[in-house]
Amino acid sequence: MRTVTQHQQIIADLIRSPAPVPVPLADAAGRVLAADHYAARQLPAFDNSAMDGYAVLAADIATATTELPVQLRVVEDIPAGRGDVPALRPGTAHRIMTGAPMPVGADAVVQVEATDGGVTRVAIWEPRASGTHVRYAGEDVRAGERVLTAGTVLRAPQLGLLAALGDAEVSVLPALRVLVLSTGSELVEPGQPLLPGQIHESNALMLATAIDSAGAHAKRLHFVADEVAEFHAALDSHLADVDLVITSGGVSAGAYEVVKDALTGQGVDFAKVAMQPGMPQGAGVVRGVPVVTLPGNPVSVLVSFEVFVRPALRAAMGYPDTRRPVVRVRLTEPITAPAGKRQFRRGFLDRELGTVRPIGPPGSHFLRWLAAADCLIDIAEDVTTLEAGALVDAWSLD
């Protein structure tokens, strides 16, 4: 049997990084920057006012007080966006708005609140030092400067910066495209009636949602009956436009194990991993495309995705955080675990108390308890009993 760590490494080696692509800024949210980014221009682009008020020569208003305001003639009105800003002559003021270009000859802005707000003449009540309320060209970003480093996750502030710099596109590591293929002759589309022995298909949507929230893109979801020919046909029709295939079901020890039957000897290696849930696993490359075969039980599917696939996907797409955050917390009640297997139990965290409550039994069909959990309790291979109050590692799934 393989250890969890060994199989994690196999999946990590299997999933390759996508080639960087330029994308419009609007499509770049959440993606990883592929290369260091240099500013094409400076920010601010020109000296401009930080306030609504009056552009003045600081020396002209040095004596201003409430009792003895300095009176200046207002010569020009400069709203934001005005391009033809006349120079300021000493002894006069220009009314100016936030973001409007500073006139040559002015060296300070008095905000409107420190004046009477006059339109043709203005009474200024307070002096201002040279440079006050002026935003200087290039004081934020110099042209040619490196503003973002490769590997940065592009979120609102980074995209705001790129837009401010005038960039329309940015080179990112794109989402890996994943085909989700569930197997089982008992499976029926949700919403459709069930005949005896049938169940509603639930792994495909669950996996697709987990894939998307890992930053990848579940491109197609499918389920096929336990028929080797049908399985191959589904695979063949989609292999060309995906980077990874994830299957569920059909890999354990019984008969009618369609994934095993179809892919044994085709580049996929099936193995047992010392883990509960999720023991039967497989991985390989089929006709040039990496394939990860997960077991069919719903809890096994999601736990195996979390343990093996999610970290590998995130690493390939360049994310700095490939692992779920692990918190060290105390069990609220005792649990037992099988010898020789790494066990992942569902749990519910109380971060304030620093505790975790194990939720539901260990069986891998207890979907309702999976849905109630917010973490996986990670129990080492050699641990068989844990008392209430024992410290454990929990993977936070939020």
> What tokens does 292 get?
């990860």
Figure out which of the listed residues 186, 227, 230, 393 binds ligand AMP, where binding follows CB under 6 A: 186
Out of Mg ion, ligand AMP, none, what residue 20 binds, judged by CB under 5 to 8 A for its kind, is none
Identify the burial level of 217 via C-beta atoms within 10 angstroms of its C-beta, where 0-12 means exposed, 13-18 middle and 19 or more buried.
Answer: middle
What is the per-residue binding string for ligand AMP in 238-257, x denoting contact by CB under 6 A?
Answer: ----------xxx-x-----
Question: Is there a cis peptide before residue 20, judged by omega within 30 degrees of 0?
Answer: no
Site membership for ligand AMP, residue 187 (CB under 6 A): yes
Q: How far apart are alpha carbons 147 and 37 in whole angstroms?
A: 6
Give the interface segment with ligand AMP, choosing from 48-56, 130-138, 194-202, 331-339 (CB under 6 A).
194-202
Region of residue 318 (phi > 0: left; psi between -120 and 50: alpha; otherwise: beta): left
* 349 three-class SS: strand
Q: Cα-flanking dihedrals φ and ψ of residue 237, to 5°? A: -75, -10
Q: How far apart are alpha carbons 255 and 367 in whole angstroms?
A: 25
Region of residue 229 (phi > 0: left; psi between -120 and 50: alpha; otherwise: beta): alpha
Question: Closest by alpha carbon to 62, among 121, 132, 5?
Answer: 132
Least Cβ distance, residue 201 to ligand AMP (angstroms): 5
Site membership for Mg ion, residue 278 (CB under 5 A): no
Figure out which of the listed residues 18, 127, 296, 362 binds Mg ion, where binding follows CB under 5 A: 296
Binding footprint of Mg ion, residue count (CB under 5 A)? 4
Least Cβ distance, residue 263 to Mg ion (angstroms): 14
Would you say 252 or 384 has its CB closer to ligand AMP?
252
For residues 355 and 368, the answer to whether their CB atoms sit within 8 Å is no
Question: Which helix (H) or strand (E) segment is 260 a member of?
Answer: helix 258-263
Strands 146-148 and 199-200: unpaired
> What tokens does 253 get?
């020890």
Figure out which of the listed residues 101, 174, 184, 362 binds Mg ion, where binding follows CB under 5 A: 184
Distances, alpha carbon 39 to alpha carbons 21, 42, 82, 141, 312, in Å: 19, 7, 25, 7, 32
Would you say 257 or 306 has its CB closer to ligand AMP?
257
What is the per-residue binding string for ligand AMP in 201-230, x denoting contact by CB under 6 A?
Answer: xxxx------------------x-------
Q: How far apart are alpha carbons 69 and 89 in whole angstroms?
A: 19
Out of Mg ion, ligand AMP, none, what residue 3 binds, judged by CB under 5 to 8 A for its kind, is none
Least Cβ distance, residue 179 to ligand AMP (angstroms): 14
| Total Cβ atoms within 10 A of residue 77 | 12
Site membership for ligand AMP, residue 184 (CB under 6 A): yes
CA torsion 41→43→46→50, rounded to 10°? 170
Give the interface segment with ligand AMP, choosing from 104-112, 198-206, 239-247, 340-348 (CB under 6 A).
198-206
Least Cβ distance, residue 185 to Mg ion (angstroms): 7
Using CB under 6 A as the binding rule, the residues of this chain from 153 to 182 that contact ligand AMP are 182
Site membership for ligand AMP, residue 35 (CB under 6 A): no
Out of ligand AMP, Mg ion, none, what residue 245 binds, judged by CB under 5 to 8 A for its kind, is none
Out of ligand AMP, Mg ion, none, what residue 248 binds, judged by CB under 5 to 8 A for its kind, is ligand AMP
Site membership for ligand AMP, residue 393 (CB under 6 A): no
Site membership for ligand AMP, residue 276 (CB under 6 A): no
Out of ligand AMP, Mg ion, none, what residue 384 binds, judged by CB under 5 to 8 A for its kind, is none
182 half-sphere exposure, CB direction, 13 A CA radius: 24
Q: Which residues bind ligand AMP (CB under 6 A)?
A: 182, 184, 186-187, 199, 201-204, 223, 248-250, 252, 295-298
